[in-house]
Amino acid sequence: CSICTSFTRLTPGSAVTIGRPIRTARMYLLDDNLDQIVEPGVVGEIFLAGIQVMPGYINAPQKSERCILQDPWHKGERMYRTGDYVTYTANGCITYIGRVDRQIKLRGYRIELAAIEQKIYQLDPSIMLATVLVANDTLVAFVKPAAVNIESLSQRLKENLQPTWVPHTIIPIDDMPMTANGKVNSKALEAMAVDARKRRVPNTNDKGSVLEDNIQRRIAQEWKAVLNIDRNEEPSSCEDFLSLGGHSVLQMLLAVRLSKIFGVAISTSDVIRSPTIRGQASIIRSRTGSKLHEVQPLGKNELSPLEVQMWRSHHAATSATTFSIPVLLQLSGSFDRCKFITALNNVLRSRDILRSNFTPSDCGPIRTLRSVPPHVLEVRVLDISSEINIPFDLAHDKLIRVLFHRESDTLLIVASHAITDLNSIQSVLRETSSVYATNLLPTPRMRYLNAPGWSRPVQTSDMTFWSKYLSNTPPRLDTLLKLPAPSPKHVFEGTSRFQTFHGSPVKKLTKLLPVYGITHHHLAITVAAQALQWLTDTNDVILGCPFQNRVGDLEQESVGLFLDRLPIRIQTSSPTTTTKDLLRATRDTSQQAIAAALPFRNILSALGIEANDPLSPCSHPIFQAMVTFHLKDAVESCLNIPGCDVRRPPPMECWASGSKFLLMFEWTEISADTWVLRIEYDCHRIELKMIQKLERAVDNILLGLSEGKTRESIFKMLL
């Protein structure tokens, strides 16, 4: 052991670091896998090695095993795991970030308390000491001295941090409680936070903070239910929904719940544009007395508008396999295989929509239901690629195939996009987990035909938004790239190429996104937009993004085809635009689109475009490139069976041939430092050399964004 392992001289005006290791010590900054030294600027955990490392802790074998490890670079020697986050500076010194154990999860969001503290110091140099902790399931910041302008600091934190990282409460104090060894006493601060909450009296002079009437109090109850806030916690009428952990899906859910409770039409747009309880109460009061639309279910044989569009596309396709949704899961462990298959069969049997076939008639396609539900087929041989690329006959085939290879514990689900989407398959897996655990037969709470979305009225304001948002649109992508015209001989045909991004750029961006309040999908849109703007020498591009189209809690768990498309317009005005501004511009335009989200057929109608053209998904003038991002464990975590480990192989092992759009960027998060990009494209219209050029552009743009470069600097990297 030692009291000193690094040394440096601090001078006024220079950056504060902990220097470099002394001669008898070594310091390793390792990644999350503990097998690679991180690059300068990348956050890593610090490990100490050298003659000072002790054999272990006295009478604490578990702690010794966790903290004293073998040094992989010096055989026979040990290294000590400090539990501290640090980074290398450009000159080889080490900058301290914070403790690993100060990375927490709150309401499902990962939060780095030390990063919030650093931002507080950065935004207000007058602050001498800042500590952020969790009390009563909320973020609380203590700052010294007590004279700090809390209102100003709170506003600046909202502007510089993602909503879930902004402290719910900031408490200014002159005396920060310390422990006997000179560290901040977190336990004492937690007690102070609890006491402050008990003593908190609403400011009756501030009409924006007190819940004024029964409407506001009822809205507050729904906020607490949707946001999973402790029932004893009362949000104020002026708090922002996003600041308490809200996001786009919860905004949709809240809109549906408020509409149902108050009997008035509340849209997602209303919730986004009026993010406070006070604002939402005002909307409800202004609409009281107005008639809420009645849900008109689809007829027994009627297809939803999305199903009709998919049927048209399927029949126009010369390669229909592109409309297959493959999900491949590798299972292992001590779970009961027979019980699992029985549970999955019961779920498949409970969903009538999975027995659908689409049969042509004089009035267009109609729905017929097969007499036998789909079921798990146990196979001795499983050729994954062949099974995925067997096309579906919508009129005669089972439109979902579920195969289980017992010898390798491999589960393969292949479903037609005509009757379902990936969210529905996730619902099937979640329900299978529930049936396995409870032995109760599934009882779906809503049938697909009864979903309120099929009869939801369209707001004139939303139609007006889209006509303005998509006015004076740039030329189509195929026109700018001078591609050959689409041929009826090759409709929805195409192939895919894969890129893997690993290491420093991915790690940097993963840590950067929450600081900017950006999602992975916003990043994916930004990368695609900049790549296409560079390729076409333009500053304006429209991309398609998946829209869940599930606005209620019943729709969230329902099975069927709900997934729709939403155009996102990216306009970049200046070559000096920074990484931060590029990403935030994407976030802002995405939020505008979500606030006015409509079924895609209605957006086409707002623009005067005929929605019946089966080729429109790949040739219509709104967008020809699609972007999506799948987060790690998004599918496999839905199958939660005791004793069963679930792994989803990387996308290059499970993909359908064809191309749903002229071009599609499909990202998948594999691990904390690895992403895979699948570029699906129409190989009859886009040459391979253009795709390779696009791949190089994506690679450099991702690198440039990770380094915080301007758009101009990034584009210079592409020359």
**346-382 pLDDT tens trace:** 999 999 999 999 999 988 899 999 999 999 999 999 9
Task: Judge whether residue 553 has pLDDT over 90.
Answer: no
Give just the sign of the alpha carbon dihedral 194, 200, 206, 210. positive
3-state secondary structure 146-215: CCCCHHHHHHHHHHHCCHHHCCCEEEECCCCCECCCCCECHHHHHHHHHHHHHHCCCCCCCCCCCCCCHH
CATH topology of domain 6-100: Luciferase; domain 3 (2.30.38)
What letter would DSSP give residue 354? G
Query: How far is Cα 298 from Cα 715, in angstroms, rounded to an integer?
Result: 51
The C-alpha torsion from 701 through 705 and 707 to 713, rounded to 10°, is 60
- The top-level CATH class assigned to 456-637+656-717 is alpha beta
pLDDT at residue 204, rounded to an integer: 38
Query: How far is Cα 360 from Cα 315, in angstroms, rounded to an integer?
Result: 11
pTM exceeds cut of 0.85? no
Query: How far is Cα 318 from Cα 491, in angstroms, rounded to an integer?
Result: 5
Q: Where are the domains of the chain?
A: 6-100, 107-199, 214-287, 305-449, 456-637+656-717
Give just the sign of the alpha carbon dihedral 599, 603, 608, 609. negative
Under the banding of pLDDT at 50, 70 and 90, the label for residue 83 is confident
Please tell me which of 212-221, 577-586, 676-685 the model is most confident about, judged by mean pLDDT: 676-685
284-340, pLDDT tens digit by residue?
988 876 665 666 788 889 999 999 999 999 998 998 899 999 999 999 999 999 999
Nearest to 536 by CA among 625, 666, 622, 469: 625
What letter would DSSP give residue 398? -
Share of the chain above pLDDT 70, in %: 92
Nearest to 322 by CA among 65, 617, 31: 617
Query: How far is Cα 71 from Cα 52, in angstroms, rounded to an integer?
Result: 13
CB 321 within 8 A of CB 375: no
Give 95 or 626, the one with higher predicted confidence. Answer: 626
Share of the chain above pLDDT 90, in %: 45
Query: How far is Cα 125 from Cα 145, in angstroms, rounded to an integer?
Result: 11
Contacts of 530 (CB under 8 A, 6+ apart): 572, 582, 701, 711, 714
Under the banding of pLDDT at 50, 70 and 90, the label for residue 201 is very low
**Burial class, 444, CB count within 10 angstroms (exposed 0-12 / middle 13-18 / buried 19+):** middle
In sequence order, the β-bridge partners of residue 404 are 378, 411
Tokens of residue 309, six digits: 């569009």
Rg (CA), the chain: 28
CATH architecture of 214-287: Orthogonal Bundle (1.10)
The C-alpha torsion from 704 through 706 and 707 to 712, rounded to 10°, is 30
**Burial class, 108, CB count within 10 angstroms (exposed 0-12 / middle 13-18 / buried 19+):** exposed
Nearest to 423 by CA among 555, 322, 523: 555
Do 305-449 and 456-637+656-717 show the same overall fold? yes
Tokens of residue 459, six digits: 């707001």
Tokens of residue 126, six digits: 């007058």
673-700, pLDDT tens digit by residue?
999 999 999 999 999 999 999 999 999 9
Give 270 or 573, the one with higher predicted confidence. Answer: 270
Task: Judge whether residue 532 has pLDDT over 90.
Answer: yes
Q: Find the range with the poorest average confidence among 149-153, 513-517, 611-615, 633-637.
A: 611-615
CB 89 within 8 A of CB 40: yes
pLDDT at residue 621, rounded to an integer: 63
Phi, psi of 324 (to 5 degrees): -95, 140
Task: Judge whether residue 1 has pLDDT over 60.
Answer: no
pLDDT at residue 612, rounded to an integer: 59
3-state secondary structure 73-101: CCCCCEEEEEEEEEEECCCCCEEEEEEHH
Residue with structure tokens 């909320």? 138
Query: How far is Cα 565 from Cα 141, in angstroms, rounded to an integer?
Result: 40
- Residue 240: HSE in the Cβ half-sphere, 13 Å Cα cutoff: 16
419-428, pLDDT tens digit by residue?
999 999 999 9
Under the banding of pLDDT at 50, 70 and 90, the label for residue 232 is low
Query: How far is Cα 404 from Cα 496, in angstroms, rounded to an integer?
Result: 26
**Burial class, 574, CB count within 10 angstroms (exposed 0-12 / middle 13-18 / buried 19+):** exposed
CB 614 within 8 A of CB 651: no
**DSSP reduced 3-state for 377:** strand
100-124, pLDDT tens digit by residue?
667 776 655 667 788 888 889 889 9
pLDDT at residue 517, rounded to an integer: 75
Query: How far is Cα 142 from Cα 193, in angstroms, rounded to an integer?
Result: 9
Phi, psi of 161 (to 5 degrees): -125, 155
Task: Judge whether residue 194 has pLDDT over 90.
Answer: no
Is 305-449 CATH 3.40.50.1860? no
- The top-level CATH class assigned to 107-199 is alpha beta
Give 609 or 520, the one with higher predicted confidence. Answer: 520
When pLDDT is averaged across residues 523-540 and rounded to a whole number, the result is: 96
- One-letter amino acid for residue 255 of the chain: A
In sequence order, the β-bridge partners of residue 567 are 544
Query: How far is Cα 320 from Cα 416, in angstroms, rounded to an integer?
Result: 10
